[in-house]
Amino acid sequence: MDKKATLTLNDGKSLDFPVLSGSIGPEVIDIRTLYAKSGMFTYDPGFLSTASCNSSITYIDGDAGVLLYRGYPIEQLAQHCDFLETCYLLLNGELPNARDKDAFVSTVTRHTMVHDQLTRFFTGFRRDAHPMAVLVGVVGALSAFYHDSLDINNPEHRKISAFRLIAKLPTIVAMAYKYNTGQPFVYPRNDLSYSANFMRMMFAVPAEEYKVNPVLVRALDRILILHADHEQNASTSTVRLSGSSGANPFACIAAGIACLWGPAHGGANEAALNMLEEIGDASKIPEFIKQVKDKNSGSKLMGFGHRVYKNYDPRAKLMRETCHEVLNELGLQNDRLFKLAMALEKVALEDEYFVSRKLYPNVDFYSGIVQRALGIPVSMFTCIFSLARTVGWIAQWNEMISDPEQKIGRPRQLYKGAARREVQPIDKR
């Protein structure tokens, strides 16, 4: 054993465990033999101190505010690459050269249509259903349409499923929106980029051609890059846990979407925008700040704080910049909510409560304002996040299946319920 950690128990017995090193980041104590050696488990609700897997995809240094995809800083990817190059990187480990990129883009582009029967699936939902409810259902249903690629032990099948998911999610998300609004579905156009095609499927109507605005398309593409992966967060862990049983990729991604829906995770940008609307005016900021600092109020400053980042989220910086670009392009420099958000950020960053707890803006603080400016309704925000995160989920799922150390996920517990007791006949209870 090269490096070890020693656990000393109350009876004086000492147990040694190997210490494993990653390429960067904290070392981990390998406690796989803990139960066999001591008869004890570890207790770690919310997995605050537990590494659940090996991964080579994404790395976060929360104290320094660093996010790397396959070693590349998010700032450089957001500046020099588009979303599909980022997808290629996350899936394959390297950035594509021009020839690889062409082939990748062409394959994704040629999988954007969905089976026509799938369009009927939408009509089973109420028109006013939340688009995330529709998305969970429709993505889960994909396994009923694409049986030919469901053998998870076949790398070729996994690859086809990955292409299908990345290519079809924009089509399905746009269809969920169109169904909601009562407009006809718009079919994909293969001569447009991934993000331009998505915006057209969202906003075109048969009566009028949709004009692509490159600044807005670039902003959407950037949102997708910034949300593409984020280590072992709740939804990614959900995808891995679902996949650990051998479930098919469409079912696993549907599980990830369901997890992402929660307001503490993917629903935060929707919650942040609603919060800004609720505050309404800069004069109400002090009162609101007082409220979120009161633990009994049940409210939080949405878009602030992060389990891993204890510094300014690097994605939030880029999103703030994108927000400026989009609002300038649309002549909305004086946007009410953007001004309110900046004022709120300033107050919070100077407040002892937030400073001492290292609570900084996260990506969701500004992404809602950008999406709203792009014309995306609040109810669609988490769908856009799901669309972006699909590549991360698929890359992580694929990595898990290919890992020889992979086991079905099965956490233990500290049982605090009744000890064994006998069932009494009903008249004696």
Catalytic residue among 227, 229, 306, 313: 306
Q: In whole angstroms, what separates CA 67 from the centre of its chain?
A: 14
Nearer to ligand CMC, 114 or 226 (CB): 226
- What's the min distance (Å) between Cβ of 307 and ligand CMC? 4
* One residue of 112, 193, 242, 362 binding ligand CMC per CB under 6 A: 362
Question: What is the number of H-type helices and E-type strands within the chain?
Answer: 18, 6
Cβ–Cβ under 8 Å, residues 343 and 401: no
Residues 280-339 interacting with ligand CMC (rule: CB under 6 A): 292, 300-307
Nearer to ligand CMC, 179 or 360 (CB): 360
Q: Which amino acid is at 299?
A: S
- What's the min distance (Å) between Cβ of 80 and ligand CMC? 23
Q: In whole angstroms, what separates CA 400 from the centre of its chain?
A: 17
Is residue 60 a contact point for ligand CMC (CB under 6 A)?
A: no
Q: Residue 133 to residues 124, 137, 317, 371: CA-CA distances in angstroms?
A: 12, 6, 31, 20
- What's the min distance (Å) between Cβ of 236 and ligand CMC? 10
Nearer to ligand CMC, 111 or 293 (CB): 293
Q: Which amino acid is at 27?
A: E
Contact mark string toward ligand CMC, 105..124, x via CB under 6 A: --------------------
- What's the min distance (Å) between Cβ of 73 and ligand CMC? 18
Residues 132-191 interacting with ligand CMC (rule: CB under 6 A): none
Which range, of 83-91, 110-118, 263-271, 386-394, touches ligand CMC by CB under 6 A?
263-271
Cα(315)–Cα(75) distance, integer angstroms: 8
Catalytic residue among 82, 229, 313, 364: 364
Nearer to ligand CMC, 237 or 362 (CB): 362
Report, in this order, helix, strand and coil percent for the chain, each rounded to 5: 55, 5, 40
* One residue of 230, 317, 372, 389 binding ligand CMC per CB under 6 A: 230
Q: Residue 329 to residues 194, 200, 214, 216, 373: CA-CA distances in angstroms?
A: 21, 18, 10, 8, 10
- What's the min distance (Å) between Cβ of 112 and ligand CMC? 27
* One residue of 221, 229, 364, 399 binding ligand CMC per CB under 6 A: 364
Cβ–Cβ under 8 Å, residues 56 and 399: yes
Nearer to ligand CMC, 161 or 367 (CB): 367
Nearer to ligand CMC, 87 or 363 (CB): 363
Annotated catalytic, 306?
A: yes
Q: Which amino acid is at 137?
A: G
Nearer to ligand CMC, 104 or 304 (CB): 304
Which range, of 133-141, 356-364, 395-403, 421-429, touches ligand CMC by CB under 6 A?
356-364
Nearer to ligand CMC, 182 or 298 (CB): 298
Residue 186, Ramachandran bin (φ over 0: left; ψ between -120 and 50: alpha; else beta): beta
Size of the site for ligand CMC (CB under 6 A): 20
Annotated catalytic, 364?
A: yes
Cβ–Cβ under 8 Å, residues 229 and 345: no
Cα(5)–Cα(360) distance, integer angstroms: 34
In degrees, to the nearest 5, what angle opens at C-alpha 292 toward C-alphas 286 and 297?
Answer: 120
DSSP characters for 169-220? HHHHHHHHHHHHHTPPP----TTS-HHHHHHHHHH-BTTBPPPP-HHHHHHH
> Of all residues in this chain, which one has the CB nearest to ligand CMC in the complex?
305
Cβ–Cβ under 8 Å, residues 343 and 282: yes
**CB atoms inside a 10 Å sphere around CB 171:** 22
- Which residues of this protein are in contact with ligand CMC, per CB under 6 A? 230, 233, 264-266, 268, 292, 300-307, 357, 359, 362-364
Q: Which residues are catalytic?
A: 306, 364
